[in-house]
Structure 1
Amino acid sequence: MKVIRESFGQIDHQTVTKFTLINDHGVEVTAINYGCIITKIVTPDKNGHYENIVLGHDSLNDYVQDPYFLGAVVGRVGGRIRGGSFELDGETYTLAKNNGHNHLHGGNMGFNKVVWDAEVVEDGVRFSYLSPDGEEGYPGNLHIQVTYTLDNHNELKIQYEAQTDKKTLLTATNHSYFNLSGDLKRDILAHTLKIKSDRFLELDHEFIPTGDFVEVKDTPFDFRSESIIEAGTSSAHPQNVLVGDGYDHPFLLNTNHDHEIVLKDPESGRILTIETDEAGVVVYSGNSLESEGDFLGVPSRKYLGICLETQALPDAIHHSHFPSTILDKEQRYSSVTIYKFGIEKK
């Protein structure tokens, strides 16, 4: 197991560094300390060919200009907050409205648009950031660490830890777009997905949860058995059509750290198993990827990648029956998500 450290450029007189984690089997995970962005993940297919399985860019400037939160840690709050404001202990906090009338993924300068401190640790890299009181409208000085480690079981662990000196909101997640075909040879429509979830959240016309949980049974949202992504993108179900023909929906997980999310590409044989201690996962099938620009030389297009964002449920602050995203003063925030890279046995 080794970690290679290289320069990736500069922004505002701050050096951005690229860290490549390589295990004994040749699996690689590359991340930069700008936004904790995962720029590349290299894994073998069923024929032993090692290829990249996430959307990414070659240059820092492309990430600075990127509108898709590509590969980044997002926060303080992943997902949307209705109306760009919330109330805590009788005080109203106003956030950036960077998604129509609403707040999305931490705002204009969220975790994804800042340079983090970084240090090499055993089998990985730890990123640290102090989000000052009032940044993007959130209360409290928030100290947060995100640690990426890779082991010889081909497992990437992302651990989030944080503390605040004033009550605030927090649910961070990684926003990588996965494509298991290898080097983006195909889109993700033929990928299959399995999720241990009986219910998903209904969205309104602004993609904000209405608060209603919908049973997945007899809908294109039933991933309790392995199902093809394309079924939802061609579905006439109002919730699929609403988000641009596909998925951009939170699912409530039935279980944790129990093979609860499994993505497969039958052609390459690659399998991604995701386990988390979070309450839910937002499945986003890349419906809004524009046909402009490119990712590592491959033209951008709809459905080129799929995000599986493990997190608390979006807009939880406005729904008392959702698991809370409130972080109290001096309370320890801790969350772990593990990504297991495998190959389907012949």
Structure 2
Amino acid sequence: MVVVKKYFGETDGKEVSLYKITNKNQTSISVLSYAATWQNFEVVEDGVKHSLIEHFDNLNDYVKTPYEVGKTIGRVAGRITKSHFQINNVDYQLTPNDGKNIIHSGKNGLQTQNFDGTVDSDNSVVFTHTVAGEDGFPGELKVKIRYALSDDDEVSITYSGQTNHDTLFNPSCHVYFDLDDGNIRQQQLRINAKHFLDMDSEKLPTGKMLAVTNAYDFKNFKKIGQGLKQLKPLDKFEFDDAYVVHDKAATLKDSQRAVDFYTDRNGLVIFTASPIDQQRAGANDYSSIAMELMTLPDAINHEDFGNTILQAGQKVSYTNKFKYRKLD
């Protein structure tokens, strides 16, 4: 196992570093200090390198993308209704950045921060950063994110948080998977979920959990393109939906390879998009699918969605895993 660090650019006068971890199979992941970004996931098949995730090769594209490609989003991923929540009957009003709501914790979320990076071992890199009071969130929050790659081609991302004031903590990686060079419609998805969240016109949870049916039913492997076709009668053209999951959340595969997704939280948000090609995006022609493993969105405003409160003095860690498999 080898970890190599190199210069990737500068933002706000601070150097951004890229760390590349390579295992015995020549599988590698690259991660950036900027936004603790997962920049690449590359495997070698029959001597040929193959990337499994959407990525940019320069820092400026990461800074300006509205799609948060590969970035750590938080301190709370997803939307919070009316940018408002309560902890112990104390009201907190945040600065909205999505109409009246806040998404991915606002314009100063973790996706805009440059982290300190350290090579932690021969197979892991740790990023640390402290945020305090950004966009109305209470408390100083110390965040640690560990990226690790095993010799059996499993990537694990562990998010740890500690705070001096009761606050919220529910980060994720906004990584977009594409196993077959932009041909996302032909790739097959299975989600181990019986329910998904009902959403209103602002993409906010109504509080209802619906049984997965028709377009939203991925209990068995189904081509993403078939699911998109099933959305048309509903006057919808993309997936941007949250599923209730446990442990082995999902599998994405094509004819040659698969990635299994695991989480110790209860949510998977899927989002079909074309974050790199704006022409394709405008035509609803999707190149990839975001797979965001997290506690269900807006959980602070829905009792049965899970706990995202991080109490003062408490430490918490969450781990998401992504395992590559070559298919015979």
Q: 1:292 aligns with which of 275, 278, 284?
A: 278
In structure 2, runs of 5+ residues without a counterpart are none
Aligned to 1:233: 228
Tell me what 1:311 maps to: 294
Q: Looking at secondary structure, tell me which structure has more helix per residue.
A: 2
The correspondence of residues 1-346 of structure 1 with structure 2, limited to 5 A, is: 1-45=1-45, 47-122=46-121, 123-132=123-132, 134-181=133-180, 185-216=181-212, 218-236=213-231, 241-242=235-236, 245-253=237-245, 255-256=246-247, 259-266=248-255, 269-286=256-273, 289=275, 291-292=277-278, 302-345=285-328
Cα distance in 2 between the residues matched to 1:14 and 1:104: 26
Is the contact between residue 126 and residue 148 of structure 1 (CA under 8 Å) also seen in structure 2?
Answer: yes
The Cα shift of 1:118 comes to 0.8
Q: TM (normalized to structure 1)?
A: 0.90
How many angstroms does 1:48 deviate by?
4.7
Deviates more, 1:82-91 or 1:63-72: 82-91
Any conservation in 2 of the 1:73–1:112 contact (CA below 8 Å)? Answer: yes
Inter-CA distance 199–289: structure 2 relative to 1 (3 Å threshold): same
Deviations 1:37-92 (A, max 9, x none): 111111134x4522112111111111111110110010011010111122223332
Is 1:235–1:241's contact at 8 Å kept on the other side of the alignment?
no
- Could you tell me how far 1:154 is from its partner in structure 2? 0.5
> How far apart are residue 96 of structure 1 and its match?
2.6
* Cα 1:317/1:226, change in 2 over 3 Å: same
Report sequence identity in percent: 30
8 Å contact from structure 1 (residues 278, 311) kept in 2:
yes
Query: Does structure 1 conserve the Cα–Cα contact (< 8 Å) formed by 2:182 and 2:288?
Result: no
The letter for the 2-side match of 1:336 is T
Aligned-pair distance for 1:32? 0.6
Alpha-carbon separation, structure 2, partners of 1:160 and 1:105:
15
Alpha-carbon deviations, 1:125-163, whole Å to 9, x = none?
A: 00001111x112110111110000111100111011111
- Contact 2:182 2:286 survives alignment (8 Å): no
Q: How far 1:237 sits from its partner (Å)?
A: 6.4
* C-alpha RMSD of matched pairs (Å): 2.0
Q: Give the 3-state SS of the residue equivalent to 1:99 in structure 2.
A: coil
Please give the alpha-carbon distance, in whole angstroms, between the structure 2 residues aligned to 1:319 and 1:199: 16
| 1:302-322 C-alpha deviation (Å, 9 max, x unpaired) | 311111111001111111121
Displacement after TM superposition at 1:208 (Å): 0.4
CA contact (8 A) 1:23 1:151 kept: yes
Taking the aligned partners of 2:284 and 2:235, their CA distance within structure 1 comes to 18
Structure 1 residue 293 displacement after superposition? 7.6
SS in 2 for 1:220: helix
Give the stretch that moved more between structures: 228-237 or 21-30: 228-237
Q: Deviation of residue 121 (structure 1)? A: 1.0
Shift >6 Å, 4+ stretches: none
Q: Which amino acid aligns with 1:224?
A: K
Change (3 A) 1:177 1:8: same
Check the 8 A contact 2:249/2:268 in 1, yes or no.
no
| More strand per residue | 2
SS at match of 1:235: helix
Partner secondary structure for residue 58 of structure 1: coil
> Is this contact kept in 2: 1:290–1:300, CA < 8 A?
no
Pairs aligned (count): 327
Structure 1: gaps of 5 or more residues: none
1:324 aligned partner, one-letter code:
N
The Cα of 1:186 is off from its aligned counterpart by 2.8
User: How far does residue 222 in structure 1 lie from its aligned partner after superposition?
Assistant: 1.4
Q: Letter of the aligned partner of 2:7 in structure 1?
A: S
CA distance in 2, matches of 1:14, 1:342: 37
Matches of 1:246 and 1:225, distance apart in 2: 20
The answer to whether the 8 A contact 2:75-2:104 is kept is: yes
1:220·1:237 contact (CA, 8 Å) conserved in 2?
no
Q: Which amino acid in 2 is paired with 1:306?
A: I
> Residues 149 and 156 of structure 2 are in contact (CA less than 8 Å); yes or no, is this contact kept in structure 1?
yes
Shift of 1:100: 2.1
- Contact kept in structure 2, 1:37 and 1:73, CA below 8 Å: yes
Deviations 1:282-335 (A, max 9, x none): 11111x74853899xxx9973111111110011111111211211111122110
In 2, distance between residues paired with 1:144 and 1:284?
Answer: 25
